[in-house]
Structure 1
Amino acid sequence: MPQRCLFALSLVGAIAWSTAGVPTALLAAGGNDTFKPGDPVEYIDFFGDPQTGRVRQVTSIGKIWVDVDGGGIDAVDAEDLRRPAAAADNPFASDEEKAKLAEMRTWQDSTGRFKVTAKLLRVEDEAVVLEREDGREVTVPLNKLSDTDRRFLAGDKTASNDEVGITPTDLGRAQLVDLSTTSPWGYTPDPEPAPASASASDAQHANGRIRFTLGQPLDIFERMVHLIIAPDQKRAYAITSHESPTLKDGYQSRVFACDLEKGAVDQVGYFATGQLPVDVSPDGKWIVAHSSSFGFGEKATASLYALSGENADPLGRWEPYRRDRGSRHESDIRWMRFVDDNHVLMVNEGEQVSLWSVPELEPVWAVDVDRFSHVREVVPEFSPGGKVVALPNPEGIALVEVLTGRKLGQIEVDDLSPFSVRFGFDPTGRKLAVIENSRCRVWHLDPPELIRDFAISQNIGTGEVHWVDEDRLLVDGRYLIDVNLRIWLWDYEHQSSKVEVRGNKVWAVVAPTPVDPWVMGSQLIPHQAALDVAAVLDPDDLLVVEPGAAMAVEVDLDLPPQQRRQIESAIVHNVESSGFRIDPTSPVKVIGDMSTGRAEEITYSDHGGLLRGRGTTQHVVAPNTVQLTIYYNDQPIWRYSNTKRAPHLLTLQEGETREQALDREMEQDPSVLAHVRIPTHIALGGADRPYGSTSGRYDKAGDRASTKRSTPPSSSRRRLPGATPSRPPTTRGDNSAKDV
Structure 2
Amino acid sequence: MHRRPTRTRLAILRSIALSTLTGIAITASNAGAQNVERIWVDAGGSFSVKATMINAYDNSVVLLRSDGGEITLSLDKLSEQDKAYVAEQKQFESTLNGLRAAPPSPPKIVALEPLKIPFDASEAEAADAPLQFDGPIRQRVSDHLPASIPADRSPMDVSVADARIMIQRVDFNIGISPPIAINTLDASGNSKTSLIMSISEPIRLPDQITRQELVRFELDRGSADVMMRHNETLRLLDHHLESGRSLVAVGFNSLGSGGSLAVLEGWQDGGLELSHRKELPPRRSAGGVPRLRWAKWIDQNHALAVIDETLGLWNITTGKQLYQIEGIDKRAALAVSGGGRYVAIPYEGGVDLWTTATGDWQGRIKVEKQVPGVSFSPLGNQLAIATTRRVRAWDLPSAALAGDVRSRNSLGTGTPFWIDHDMLITDSGTLVSLYRGVPIWRYDVAGSDRTRIGSKLAIFRKSPITELVIATLPHAGAESMIRRIDHSVTKIEPESWQVAGRSAWEEGQWVDRDVKIGSLTKERR
Shorter-chain TM-score tier: 0.5 to 0.7
Question: Structure 2 CA distance, aligned partners of 1:716 and 1:243?
Answer: 57
The one-character-per-residue Cα deviations of 1:594-618 (angstroms, maximum 9, x if unpaired) are xxxxxxxxxxxxxxxxxxxxxxxxx
Q: 1:693: which partner in 2?
A: 502
Tell me: CA distance 1:246–1:495, structure 2 relative to 1, closer, same or farther (3 Å): farther
Which of residues 190, 193, 198 in structure 1 aligns to 2:155? Answer: 193
Q: Does 1:491 align with 2:442?
A: yes
Question: Structure 1 CA distance, aligned partners of 2:235 and 2:176?
Answer: 11
Question: Structure 2 CA distance, aligned partners of 1:248 and 1:274?
Answer: 12
Which of residues 290, 300, 303 in structure 2 aligns to 1:344? Answer: 303
**Deviation of residue 240 (structure 1)?**
1.1
Indicate if the aligned counterparts of 2:353 and 2:363 stay in contact, CA closer than 8 A. yes
Say which structure, 1 or 2, has more relative contact order (CA 8 Å, 6+ apart): 2
Indicate if the aligned counterparts of 1:467 and 1:503 stay in contact, CA closer than 8 A. no
Question: Structure 1 CA distance, aligned partners of 2:156 and 2:275?
Answer: 33
Q: 1:360: which partner in 2?
A: 318
The one-character-per-residue Cα deviations of 1:238-258 (angstroms, maximum 9, x if unpaired) are 211212655666964211122
Which of residues 658, 668, 684 in structure 1 aligns to 2:496? Answer: 684
The share of aligned pairs that are identical, in percent, is 18
Indicate if the aligned counterparts of 2:227 and 2:272 stay in contact, CA closer than 8 A. no
Question: Structure 2 CA distance, aligned partners of 1:292 and 1:715?
Answer: 59
**Deviation of residue 233 (structure 1)?**
6.7
Indicate if the aligned counterparts of 2:247 and 2:296 stay in contact, CA closer than 8 A. no
Q: Does 1:523 align with 2:471?
A: yes
Question: Structure 2 CA distance, aligned partners of 1:263 and 1:349?
Answer: 39
Indicate if the aligned counterparts of 1:396 and 1:410 stay in contact, CA closer than 8 A. no
Tell me: CA distance 1:326–1:233, structure 2 relative to 1, closer, same or farther (3 Å): farther
Alignment of 1:445-456 (within 5 A): 445-456=396-407
**Deviation of residue 712 (structure 1)?**
6.0
**Deviation of residue 289 (structure 1)?**
1.5
**Deviation of residue 462 (structure 1)?**
2.4
Tell me: CA distance 1:501–1:536, structure 2 relative to 1, closer, same or farther (3 Å): same
Q: 2:275: which partner in 1?
A: 315
Question: Structure 2 CA distance, aligned partners of 1:332 and 1:472?
Answer: 34
Q: Does 1:222 align with 2:174?
A: yes
The one-character-per-residue Cα deviations of 1:648-697 (angstroms, maximum 9, x if unpaired) are xxxxxxxxxxxxxxxxxxxxxxxxxxxxxxxxxx43333xxx21222125
Length, aligned pairs only: 389
Alignment of 1:6-405 (within 5 A): 166-172=128-134, 174-181=135-142, 185-193=147-155, 195=157, 208-217=161-170, 221-230=173-182, 234-243=193-202, 245=204, 252-282=211-241, 283-295=243-255, 298-299=257-258, 301-307=260-266, 309-325=269-285, 328=288, 331-350=290-309, 352-370=310-328, 375-392=329-346, 396-405=350-359
Counterpart residue identity of residue 283, structure 2: R
**Deviation of residue 495 (structure 1)?**
6.5
The one-character-per-residue Cα deviations of 1:53-74 (angstroms, maximum 9, x if unpaired) are xxxxxxxxxxxxxxxxxxxxxx
Question: Structure 2 CA distance, aligned partners of 1:494 and 1:391?
Answer: 25
Question: Structure 2 CA distance, aligned partners of 1:540 and 1:348?
Answer: 53
Question: Structure 1 CA distance, aligned partners of 2:404 and 2:507?
Answer: 29
Indicate if the aligned counterparts of 2:502 and 2:513 stay in contact, CA closer than 8 A. yes
**Deviation of residue 533 (structure 1)?**
0.4
Question: Structure 1 CA distance, aligned partners of 2:278 and 2:286?
Answer: 17
**Deviation of residue 344 (structure 1)?**
1.6
Which of residues 360, 365, 369 in structure 2 aligns to 1:417? Answer: 369
The one-character-per-residue Cα deviations of 1:11-33 (angstroms, maximum 9, x if unpaired) are xxxxxxxxxxxxxxxxxxxxxxx
**Deviation of residue 188 (structure 1)?**
0.8
| Structure 2: gaps (5+ residues) | 1-125, 184-190
**Deviation of residue 477 (structure 1)?**
7.9
Question: Structure 2 CA distance, aligned partners of 1:347 and 1:442?
Answer: 25
Question: Structure 1 CA distance, aligned partners of 2:214 and 2:278?
Answer: 22
Indicate if the aligned counterparts of 2:374 and 2:384 stay in contact, CA closer than 8 A. yes
**Deviation of residue 472 (structure 1)?**
0.9
Q: 2:96: which partner in 1?
A: none
RMSD: 3.5
Tell me: CA distance 1:261–1:477, structure 2 relative to 1, closer, same or farther (3 Å): farther
| Structure 1: gaps (5+ residues) | 1-163, 203-207, 545-681, 718-722, 727-740
Question: Structure 2 CA distance, aligned partners of 1:444 and 1:189?
Answer: 9
Question: Structure 1 CA distance, aligned partners of 2:311 and 2:305?
Answer: 6
Aligned to 1:529, the other structure's residue is in SS state helix
